Chains A and B, each alone.
Chain A
Amino acid sequence: MNFRTLSKRLLFLFMVVWAASTITFFIPRISPRNPVRERFAELARTGGFSPEDLEVIVADYSKRFGLDKPLLQQYGDYMWGIARFDLGISLNKFPKTVMQLIFESLPWTIGLVFITTILSFVLGNWLGALAAWPKSPDWLKSVATSFVLFQGVPPVLLGILLIFFIGFKLKMLPLGGAYSIGTVPSMSLNFIFDLLRHQLLPGLALVLGSVGGWVISMRGMGVTIQGEDYVTFAEHKGLGSRAIFRDYYLRNALLPQVTGLALALGNLVTSAIVVEGIFALPGIGTMLNSAIRSNDFSVIYGIVLFITIAIATLMVIVEFIYPLLDPRIRHQ
């Protein structure tokens, strides 16, 4: 990785961020809806203040949010805000900032969805590699391929089935929530154990739903790699099967899977919305969901922009890792 490629990639990342933020700036402003007016009209209906005052309040808040300024100036302010990691203020949870809300919910999503994505990647590829390896025992091959079955079940259904059977019927694990009602979050062992118990079912739903995909793709790659001349030559060299598995077979079969991981990380938020919804967990998905329900435009666009930037950054990181795994693309 030389300086030229590095700067090219970073420039690309910058362009993605710029394009995403410009789109998220203009879309709500093209819309004829006025979120400030909608919010206060709703409050006026429930009778907090007289409808005559509505116009004054809307005008005042528009000024506070800078919505009365000319569009170009608003764009400039907005971009300057993004440069300072300031995504504005939530309309619904005023005066909390969007950044505050994101950082409150992000650790939950990382803790569940990100970790399970990595976990399924490791588990799925390991099983897939073993499933294609001629020397692995038959029972292992059948266990590995049976995960493919779950691939056909939509994650929503898988989550509900798990809640019904394991949570409701067998009462082995809690039905939902991030921790038991009444407990106060702390760093005590009891609380951490309670937290893990609550994360187990959603984690299982996510892992079961995605391991199968890794298993089939890795098994396919594995079969291809085994036919390669360098694997045969490694056998002719008298290497043991462990060394061949690790250095010749796995190393090469993993290459396209790493690209797959980058793509899977892009689906992170979609899984978060579904799973956090089913299991009533806090997180980015739940936050986005409630923002959409309450027309909290600044939070919706803030989260969308944040996720776009996060995923674009992850992709660039994967691109930086890739040449370390495959020397053939190092010099391009």
Chain B
Amino acid sequence: MNPVLKVVDLEVSYYTDAGRAKALDQVNLELNAGEKIGLVGESGSGKSTMALAMMRMIKPPGRIENGQVIVDGTNLTSLSEDEMLRARLSKIAYIPQGAMNSLNPVTRIGAQMIDAIKAHEPTMSKADMKARSIKSLESVELKPEVFKMYAHELSGGMKQRVCIAIGILLEPKVIIADEPTSALDVVTQRQVMETINKVQAEMGAAVILIGHDMGLMAQSMDKVAVMYAGRLVEVSTVKEMFTEPKHPYSQALIRSLPKLDVRGVFQGIPGLAPSLLRLPTGCAFHPRCQEIMDKCKTVRPENQMLASGSRVTCHLYGEGA
């Protein structure tokens, strides 16, 4: 199967007064149509930067240094600004983190859906645009009346659904949802996740879900990608990730999840995430790693595909291990 999303050697740096911070370092990812992947990692590990880089929305002082983002055969990094404007939402859509404030308070929801359609299909008739918007609202289980409403008349969960409805207006091939449930209570979280799953199944789009919640990932994702200090350290299927995690950081993450049957002290991961300005040499995780080898302190591990289908960036695997 031809992957619908292919991220090749993506690199992003932020140029700060204190120096260059490498926020994304040689990130590789492949995603098939209809596949759902969860992207987890500590705060500052580069999850949101990766989402923004895929949308080509990195703003100065940040810059995409290298790499390609190929969606449905089109290389986004080589498009002109105007072409990229048209690609946003129609090829790759982004559902924002702060859905509470992501809607314009002074215009109606309908106007905010129609301007999005109009930007991509200027020749479409007004009635068709409205019909499509209402269809989109209905597919996220909102009433058609929402079309005429303002953001302040909606609850948090409804606003998040509106954002999803806007995201799927043009049936994009790839949907990036950046912590879409983080500001919601668990019941609403579940409803929103079900909505995402439903529209994803209907459209067959690939979904990247960014979040911290491992439980959420286990419930509704096919694959999990773990980020550490700007690198994807492991990409595995959900089953593999929860039963047999490969990378020591993933192993530590899974171990730190509280279990119902074993009561006791929570197991954390010793140490702190490194500053992107002063990354440790070799493998960035080596100061916190329990299986450290001499090689880890000096040699940077390469990303490699294992026989099981997982991709790991660690010296424990592959040749010389």
Contact = CB atoms under 8 A, between A and B. Distances in A.
B183 to A, nearest CB: 11
Interface stretch (A52-60, A123-131, A247-255, A274-282): A247-255
Q: What is the size category of the interface that chain B forms with chain A?
A: 20 to 34
Interface string A230-258: 10111111111001000110011001000
Contacts of A325: 106
Interface in B89-144: 89-90, 93-94, 96-98, 100-107, 111, 115-116, 119-120
A215 B166 CA distance: 34
Interface stretch (B9-17, B80-88, B254-262): B80-88
B106 A252 contact: yes
A170 B111 CA distance: 53
Contact of B115 (A239, A252, A326, A327): A239
A236 B85 contact: no
Contacts of A240: 85, 119
A238 B104 contact: no
Q: What is the size category of the interface that chain A forms with chain B?
A: 20 to 34
Contact of A230 (B85, B86, B105): B105
B190 interface: no
Nearest to B87: A238
A194 interface: no
A251 B116 CA distance: 17
Given A232-B96, A240-B85, A327-B150, A252 B119 contact: no
A159 B55 CA distance: 53
Given A243-B119, A327-B152, A328-B150, A236 B104 contact: no
B57 interface: yes
A328 B152 CA distance: 7
Interface in B8-64: 55, 57
Contact of A237 (B98, B106, B116): B116
B55 A236 contact: yes
A230 B101 contact: yes
A229 interface: yes
A243 B100 CA distance: 22
A239 B87 CA distance: 11
30 contacts: A229-B101, A230-B102, A230-B104, A232-B57, A232-B96, A233-B103, A233-B163, A234-B104, A236-B57, A236-B96, A237-B115, A237-B116, A237-B119, A237-B166, A238-B86, A238-B89, A238-B119, A239-B85, A239-B116, A239-B119, A240-B85, A240-B119, A243-B115, A243-B119, A247-B104, A248-B104, A251-B107, A252-B105, A326-B106, A328-B105
Interface of B: 55, 57, 85-90, 93-94, 96-98, 100-107, 111, 115-116, 119-120, 150, 152, 163, 166
Interface of A: 228-230, 232-240, 243, 247-248, 251-252, 255, 325-328
